[in-house]
Amino acid sequence: MSANRFFVSESGFEGDLVRLSAEQAHQVCHVLRLKAGDEIVVLDGAGGEFDVTLTTADKREAVGRIVARRQATGEPTVRITLFQGLLAREKFEWVLQKGTEVGVSRFVPIQTERTLLRARQIDPKKLDRWQRIVTEAAEQSHRGRVPQIEPAITFAQALSRVGEFDRALIAATSGQARTLTEALAPSGGTVASVAILIGPEGGFSDAETAQACESGGIPVSLGPRILRTETAAIVAPALVLHVLGQMPS
Ligand code: SAH
């Protein structure tokens, strides 16, 4: 069985020693029942990965010594930002978890013409819970960084950020959508950052798709079958990473 993995913030590192948070100490001691001498893997959230031998593991603290260090192998080198039409809570949490496993680096909920929820209906207290979901998914899936979750913005605000990315793809079910292979072709310049816009249950309006294209977005197809929004939110990043060689088959 592979070792348990924990993200630790910078303040937890002191020379060769790593101190886990109180919550992680509880997990180590009571849930996983690890003891001094057992091995864990610690991630610094900046791409570093460390083999650590626990020196103390009790209900108050868990501390270990770094015995090896390397670059985290599971972190994609292409950064994907998923602009996702606002979803009901359970579906959004599912997208956060699965999207993290697949390799999304940043999640930004967007309010569009057809979203059923409004941005202000999102309870800010949910952010803690969401942060925990992506952290656990990142640990489980061997990511080297915890994805960011940004506050919800409008579709227009999302379009104003299109220029920050090497490619901005709007997943569109109508019109002259291109294939992902065409949209990501190296002839258009290197691709290190990709924005993906996924519409809500009712899709994007034609006007929204047109505005995205005027702003420099590329309309892309995910194939001939219409996927539910939460399915498209996982399939699109997986295909982008596949086309860019980050998820080889
Ligand atoms: N009735 C809507 C369905 C929307 S599906 C429509 O026909 O537009 C929700 C979102 O998932 C879409 O806005 C799009 O972003 C994405 N999506 C689903 N299936 C897709 C496909 N085959 N190609 C491109 N995008 C797709």
Mean pLDDT of 237-241: 98
Q: Residue with the nearest Cα to atom 18 of ligand 1?
A: 227
110, 158 Cβ separation under 8 angstroms: yes
Q: Atom 4, ligand 1: which residue's CA is nearest?
A: 203
Residue 229 Cα to ligand 1 middle (Å): 6
Helices (H), the chain: 22-26, 89-102, 126-140, 155-159, 180-183, 206-214, 229-243
pLDDT of residue 176: 83
Cα distance between residue 142 and residue 238, in whole Å: 16
The residue ranking higher by pLDDT, 84 or 116, is: 84
Look at residue 119 and tell me whether its pLDDT is greater than 90: no
What confidence score (pLDDT) does residue 60 get?
A: 87
Question: Six-digit token pair at 155?
Answer: 């579709």
Please give the pLDDT value at position 1.
58
Render pLDDT for 23-51 as a digit per residue (tens, 0 to 9): 999 999 999 999 999 999 999 999 999 99
Mutate to test the pocket of ligand 1, among 113, 173, 218, 234 (most ligand atoms within 8 A of CB): 173
pLDDT, tens digit, for every residue of 165-178?
Answer: 999 999 999 878 99
Sign of CA dihedral 203, 150, 99, 83: positive
Least confident of 39-43, 112-116, 121-125, 127-131: 121-125
Q: Compute the distance between CA of residue 95 and CA of residue 219 in angstroms, rounded to an integer.
A: 21
Ligand 1: residues whose CB is within 6 Å?
A: 171-173, 198-199, 202-204, 221-223, 225-227, 229, 232
Closest C-alpha among 88, 71, 83 to residue 109? 83
Strand-pair partners of 84 = 109, 198
Give the chain's count of helices (H) and strands (E): 7, 13
Judged by average pLDDT, the poorest of 72-76, 99-103, 118-122, 123-127 is 118-122
pLDDT tens sequence across 61-110: 999 999 999 999 899 999 999 999 999 999 999 999 999 999 999 999 99
What is the structure's pLDDT at 167?
97
Rounded CA separation 109/128 (Å): 16
pLDDT tens digit string along 134-191?
999 999 999 999 999 999 999 999 999 999 999 999 999 987 899 999 999 988 788 9
What domains lie within the chain, and their CATH numbers? 5-71 (2.40.240.20), 79-243 (3.40.1280.10)
Ligand 1 centroid from CA 203, angstroms? 6
Q: How far is the CA of 82 from the centre of ligand 1 (A)?
A: 14
Q: Which helix (H) or strand (E) holds 80?
A: strand 79-85
